[in-house]
Structure 1
Amino acid sequence: MKRKGKYWKANSLTQEYQLIEPEKEWIEKVKLLQENINADIIAIDVLETEKGEKVIVEYNDIPGLSGFPEDAKLELASIVKNK
């Protein structure tokens, strides 16, 4: 998900968001991270500079899901529950 907040922190006072298809490179990196820390679910926070450069700020093994569609939340809950 791509979010913009009132300030630099997008998950605080989120003003707009959109679901996006992640870039293949990011998918591979996140899967590798997930395997290395043995997490059931994981998310990364990425900031994009004005020049379009992307920088990983942190990862979350308990990511916030605000703004995600309800069906995505239910699917994720089902996956975690079955695990």
Structure 2
Amino acid sequence: MSREQIVRDTAYAIWEAEGKPEGRDLAHWRQAEARVAASAAAKAKPAAKGNATKGKAPVSIAQASAKAAPPAKTAATKTAATKAAPARKG
């Protein structure tokens, strides 16, 4: 069903719920558009959130940065690298 048809059906339901008053068609249409937009936004928000976490518990910023940080080099690694490559005279 197209978005326009959904808005049309919603506006009709609003019109009926208000007792079928005359001359309020534009107000009902705008109210229906707002409801359809809000409904679409509410449906899209949980779907996007669900895809990002995929059932995992939320991760704090500190945990995320700790996971992303490269491992620290030890002093032994630095010394071994300088001793292994002697400077050439040339």
TM-score, shorter chain, exceeding 0.5: no
The TM-score, its normalising length taken from structure 2, stands at 0.20
More strand by share: 1
**Greater relative contact order (Cα < 8 A, sep 6+):** 2
The TM-score, its normalising length taken from structure 1, stands at 0.21
More helix by share: 2
* Larger Rg, first or second structure (1 or 2): 2
